[in-house]
């Protein structure tokens, strides 16, 4: 487990990238979770983000799941 502290910047779309698939443990995959607005909605669990899984070697899209998002976090 690692903790990352980053400055939040205004964003129309945000995402979190994992260099290994945290769900399956596959080291040859990249998992990207994304949503509109600030990334706070993802890390706080306010939304179920869109999920994209790519193969590291070819960058081929292996899986895509687009979620309905009823709320979001925006900059004032």
pLDDT tens-digit readout, 13-70: 899 999 999 999 999 999 999 999 888 888 888 899 999 999 999 999 999 999 988 8
- Other Cβ atoms within 10 Å of 75 Cβ, number: 10
Q: What is the CATH number of the domain that holds 47?
A: 3.30.470.20
What is the model's pTM? Answer: 0.81
pLDDT category of residue 76 using cuts at 50, 70 and 90? low
Structural domain contains residue 48: yes
Domain span including residue 31? 13-65
Q: Is 60 among the domain residues?
A: yes
6 within domain boundaries:
no
25 vs 71 pLDDT, higher one: 25
Number of domains making up the chain: 1
Q: 57 lies in a domain?
A: yes
Asked if the structure places residue 7 within a domain, the reply is no
d(CA 27, CA 57): 11
* Residue 45: per-residue pLDDT: 86
Residue 1 lies in a domain: no
């Amino acid at each position: 487990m690692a903790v990352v502290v980053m400055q939040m910047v205004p964003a129309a779309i945000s995402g979190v990238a994992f260099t290994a698939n945290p769900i399956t443990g596959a080291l040859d995959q990249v998992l990207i979770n994304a949503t509109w607005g600030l990334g706070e909605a993802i890390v706080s669990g306010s939304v179920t983000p869109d999920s994209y899984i790519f193969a590291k070697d070819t960058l081929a899209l292996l899986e895509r799941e687009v979620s309905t998002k009823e709320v979001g976090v925006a900059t004032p």
